[in-house]
Amino acid sequence: MSRTDDRGSATVWVAVAATALCALFAGLMVFGQVMVARHRAGGAADLAALAAADHALEGPRAACGLARRVAAAQGTRVVRCEVRGEIADLTAEARAGPFAPRVRSRAGPPSAIPPEDP
């Protein structure tokens, strides 16, 4: 076996390693993008639900309208808004590339919120 039999094998190994690292880095970037969008949707849903609950006595139309404005200011949108009594229950969606996580949030006075259904 001569020394020329291994010629170029290091180049192949480096190319494979570089490809694997690029794939790993791309996966981490996608994961990060999804997490940022999810946290943004959660924060916007909480703020919008609080705003809607604060204006619940003005009626569902006014409360949900305010919730939509608050969500839009956060770069998200309200996909569902329901106001019953003093309780606001809504879902916000944040878009980040091909991803659109949705987060549900409820707000109202502590005495008015019934426990969650199992």
**Residues present in the chain in total:** 118
Task: Give a yes or no: residue 73 inside a domain.
Answer: yes
pLDDT value for 81 = 94
pLDDT value for 114 = 63
Region for 8 from its dihedrals, namely left if φ exceeds 0, alpha if ψ lies in -120 to 50, beta otherwise: left
Task: Give a yes or no: residue 55 inside a domain.
Answer: yes
Q: What residues does 78 pair with on adjacent strands? A: 92
Task: Give a yes or no: residue 98 inside a domain.
Answer: yes
Task: Give a yes or no: residue 81 inside a domain.
Answer: yes
In total, how many domains does the chain have?
1
Considering the chain, what is the average pLDDT of its residues?
88
Q: Mean pLDDT over residues 41-69, rounded? A: 93
Q: Mean pLDDT over residues 77-94, rounded? A: 93
Question: Per residue in 89-115, pLDDT tens?
Answer: 999 999 888 888 999 999 988 876 566
Is a pLDDT exceeding 70 seen at residue 59?
A: yes
For 61-84, the three-class secondary structure string (H helix, E strand, C coil) is HHHHHHHHHHHHHCCCEEEEEEEE
Q: What is the CATH number of the domain that holds 84?
A: 3.30.1300.10
Is a pLDDT exceeding 60 seen at residue 116?
A: yes
- Helix residue spans in the chain (DSSP H): 9-54, 60-73
Task: Give a yes or no: residue 48 inside a domain.
Answer: yes
Task: Give a yes or no: residue 102 inside a domain.
Answer: yes
Tokens representing residue 57 in the block: 């006595």
Is a pLDDT exceeding 80 seen at residue 117?
A: no
Is a pLDDT exceeding 70 seen at residue 21?
A: yes
Domain that holds residue 103: 36-107
Share of the chain above pLDDT 70, in %: 89
Residue burial 9-35, b: 16+ Cβ < 10 Å; e: rest: eeeeeeeeeeeeeeeeeeeeeeeeeee
Residue 117: CB atoms within 10 Å? 4
pLDDT value for 3 = 58
Task: Give a yes or no: residue 15 inside a domain.
Answer: no
Task: Give a yes or no: residue 113 inside a domain.
Answer: no
